[in-house]
Amino acid sequence: MPSWIGAVILPLSGLLLSLPAGADVKARSCGEVRQAYGAKGFSLADIPYQEIAGEHLRICPQEYTCCTTEMEDKLSQQSKLEFENLVEETSHFVRTTFVSRHKKFDEFFRELLENAEKSLNDMFVRTYGMLYMQNSEVFQDLFTELKRYYTGGNVNLEEMLNDFWARLLERMFQLINPQYHFSEDYLECVSKYTDQLKPFGDVPRKLKIQVTRAFIAARTFVQGLTVGREVANRVSKVSPTPGCIRALMKMLYCPYCRGLPAVRPCNNYCLNVMKGCLANQADLDTEWNLFIDAMLLVAERLEGPFNIESVMDPIDVKISEAIMNMQENSMQVSAKVFQGCGQPKPAPALRSARSAPENFNTRFRPYNPEERPTTAAGTSLDRLVTDIKEKLKLSKKVWSALPYTICKDESVTAGTSNEEECWNGHSKARYLPEIMNDGLTNQINNPEVDVDITRPDTFIRQQIMALRVMTNKLKNAYNGNDVNFQDTSDESSGSGSGSGCMDDVCPTEFEFVTTEAPAVDPDRREVDSAAAQPGPSLLLSASLVCIVLALQRLCR
């Protein structure tokens, strides 16, 4: 053998011994990687033209590679950003559901209250004229308190409604007895007879049941939408742990370092990475599902006999029925009050009266629901509830489903039909480890993500507690019980009802039990049927005519 051959063989054998096992003798080109890396917006100055030894790599396999230290760092940050965007995009549906529906319901309820107040004002001005306008603050205060309750005020609905009827009785008692002078003490005595005499018939009792149930359900439901919105917005903004970031880099961009930029992760490999990274989010699922179930229960109340739309639309008619009851029974009511509170002092002599105002003798026309199309927010409560129920059902199990939804994305993984030609974390081959179950405790043996199962995410636990508190309030509202929301109308909070608790856990519960309601809505049926029939003769007795004549002088 010629000497020059031995001189050539010895160096070549030394070179072969120095190469990693399985490495090609000739370094492969990094052309595809350079193209893919540049497409991400990174500078090509970081990337070699051909593979280099990979001892410097901290995450990817330390074999011949197209990645420098700078590339690995940048791709690691890129994988973190892409993961955060993936979670936010995947949870987009549930977030927009709560944001948009909260806006629609809130807009609807506010406009409904405005429309009801305007309708009552227009009808009472038309019917009572000056008599109503001189006492309109009683009715304005009623709507002011209803709005304050809905928007978070410290209002006890039952007490507020009792006060309204007591004030209305005081005003009407003075109007039907203008020949007497009543002191404040005397009027206070009159108001104490409200329940005993039932001067307004059964309307106050029925309306109290309906209004309290309807407003409790409506306000609590909107607050539930607020809490769902806040929780969804917060949970969708993830902060991956260092262990998660390493796993994401290994899954998404180590193929680049191996010269395989077009090879995507295996589906099952992706699932294990996502289950490890989103373990705490999956733990939110149980409480979230209970919250959704409670929202659906209250939605039933919004559709049922305590539908706030069916309560507020005819409230002017119902109050008018009460006023008519008082007018028609005024003599008996006055006699019983005089008996219980004593004979009042006569009023100063009245000047001669002219004829009574014509509109005072006019009973409200019958209420026909078809005459008033719903205009609140351009929709109806039935349509809103039907829509939100469908969306709520679709949002169940959304947090435990995140890994499956993300890994189903063809832009992320190779899919389930390509299990041999996918990246398994080391090479292009089938992924063999089993898929982990959902939740933090099940990640103890996760082969891809280093998860500390002894340290639950405090932030996620706060969201779980917020959902738990809101679920309890929703269940109370479903049963017709008021709840102690934090008062947002002022700095103080009391035992009444507000609508805070948007973000933080609320203080202890306060249950405000309303009268048990019947299974159907007798109030709406009875009042509407009564309104649809001709009322009794409105010819007043001689004494009432005198009263009416005297009222005109008081209004001058």
Q: Tell me, what's the pLDDT at 410?
A: 85
- 432-459 pLDDT per residue, tens: 999 999 999 999 999 999 999 898 999 9
- 232-273 pLDDT per residue, tens: 999 999 999 999 999 999 999 999 999 999 999 999 999 999
Say if residue 510's pLDDT is above 70.
Answer: no
Question: What does the mean pLDDT of the chain come to?
Answer: 80
Q: Tell me, what's the pLDDT at 26?
A: 56
What is the 3 state secondary structure string of 346-365? ECCCCCCCCCCCHHHHCCCC
Instruction: Show the CA angle centred on residue 250, arms to residues 247 and 256, nearest 5°.
Output: 155
Q: pLDDT higher for 284 or 535?
A: 284
In sequence order, the β-bridge partners of residue 482 are 512
Contact predicate 323/200, CB 8 Å? yes
Q: Tell me, what's the pLDDT at 414?
A: 84
- 264-312 pLDDT per residue, tens: 999 999 999 999 999 999 999 999 999 999 999 999 999 887 889 999 9
Cα separation, 216 vs 208, in Å, equals 12
Contact predicate 251/273, CB 8 Å? yes
Least confident stretch, 405-414, 459-468, 532-541: 532-541
In sequence order, the β-bridge partners of residue 428 are 423
Banded pLDDT at 3 (limits 50, 70, 90): very low
Q: pLDDT higher for 538 or 391?
A: 391
Say if residue 471's pLDDT is above 80.
Answer: yes
Say if residue 422's pLDDT is above 50.
Answer: yes
Residues 6+ apart with CB under 8 A from 69: 56, 57, 58
Tokens of 424: 């398994």
Least confident stretch, 36-40, 122-126, 166-170, 511-515: 511-515
Say if residue 484's pLDDT is above 90.
Answer: no
Contact predicate 218/302, CB 8 Å? yes
The pLDDT of 461-482, averaged and rounded, is: 94
Tokens of 289: 């599902």
3 state DSSP class of 180? strand
Contact predicate 210/379, CB 8 Å? no
Mean pLDDT: which of 57-71, 284-298, 369-383 is highest?
284-298
CA distances from 493 to 151, 154, 220, 508 (A): 14, 7, 17, 12
Say if residue 190's pLDDT is above 80.
Answer: yes
3 state DSSP class of 481? strand
Mean pLDDT: which of 235-239, 356-360, 466-470 is highest?
466-470
Say if residue 4's pLDDT is above 60.
Answer: no
Alpha helices in 441-541 (DSSP H): 458-478, 522-532
Q: For the stretch 466-498, what's the b/e string if a residue is b when 16 or more beta carbons lie within 10 angstroms of its beta carbon?
A: bbebbbbbbbbbbebbbbbbebbbeeebeebbb
Banded pLDDT at 27 (limits 50, 70, 90): low
Tokens of 508: 């202890």
Banded pLDDT at 349 (limits 50, 70, 90): low
Percent of the chain residues past pLDDT 90, beyond the cut: 56
Q: Tell me, what's the pLDDT at 463?
A: 96
Say if residue 35's pLDDT is above 80.
Answer: yes
Q: For the stretch 119-154, what's the b/e string if a residue is b when 16 or more beta carbons lie within 10 angstroms of its beta carbon?
A: bbbebbeebbbbbbeebeebbeebbbbbbbbbbbbb
The pLDDT of 514-524, averaged and rounded, is: 35
Say if residue 504's pLDDT is above 80.
Answer: no
Residue 242 CA from chain centroid, whole number: 33
Residues 6+ apart with CB under 8 A from 265: 251, 252, 255, 273, 412, 413, 414, 422, 423, 424, 425
Q: Tell me, what's the pLDDT at 45?
A: 87
Q: Tell me, what's the pLDDT at 415?
A: 80
Q: Tell me, what's the pLDDT at 543?
A: 36
pTM score, whole prediction: 0.76
Tokens of 499: 């609508």
Say if residue 319's pLDDT is above 80.
Answer: yes
Banded pLDDT at 378 (limits 50, 70, 90): low
Banded pLDDT at 191 (limits 50, 70, 90): confident
Say if residue 500's pLDDT is above 90.
Answer: no
Say if residue 482's pLDDT is above 60.
Answer: yes
The pLDDT of 325-330, averaged and rounded, is: 88
Q: pLDDT higher for 271 or 369?
A: 271
Q: Tell me, what's the pLDDT at 380?
A: 87
Say if residue 121's pLDDT is above 60.
Answer: yes
The pLDDT of 356-360, averaged and rounded, is: 37
Contact predicate 265/421, CB 8 Å? no
Least confident stretch, 114-128, 293-307, 365-379, 525-539: 525-539
